[in-house]
Amino acid sequence: MQKGVTGENLLALLERRLDNAVFRLGFANSRQQARQMVRHGVFTLNNRQANIPSMQVKVGDEIVVVEKHRKDPVLAEAQEVIARRGCPNWLEVDAPNFKGSVKALPQREDIQFPINEQLIVELYSK
């Protein structure tokens, strides 16, 4: 059981999914694309094959594009997207080396959705 505000914990869990981290790092144009890329084994997590989109990333984790996928046109375009869009404070990206890392846990202010998470908690607590 986690301590803290339930709604914020829920958002943090969703934000820490591997497919979301891949999207936030800029390696994919959408969360759906990031999910498919993870399922197809495009990334490693801490030097281990990662193909489960719902895996939770934690501080210190390193997400790297597998060598054979680095010439993929989507990832080549990602270099430009990363430069233009940047990435959130809780992540760090090394675009030329096709790498990203988790440097902190996401906070509520890092999550840009206009959502009232307390309403979700109230709905599910009935």
- Express each pLDDT in 77-115 by its tens digit: 887 777 777 789 999 999 889 999 999 999 888 888 788
What's the chain's average pLDDT? 90
Would you state the pLDDT for residue 118? 87
Query: Percent of the chain scored above 90 by pLDDT?
Result: 58
Q: How confident is the model at residue 24 (pLDDT cuts 50, 70, 90)?
A: very high
pTM of the model: 0.89
Q: Could you tell me the domains of the chain? A: 17-105 (3.10.290.10)
Closest CA to 96 of 73, 64, 74, 68: 64
Q: Degrees (nearest 5) of the Cα angle 55, 91, 93?
A: 105
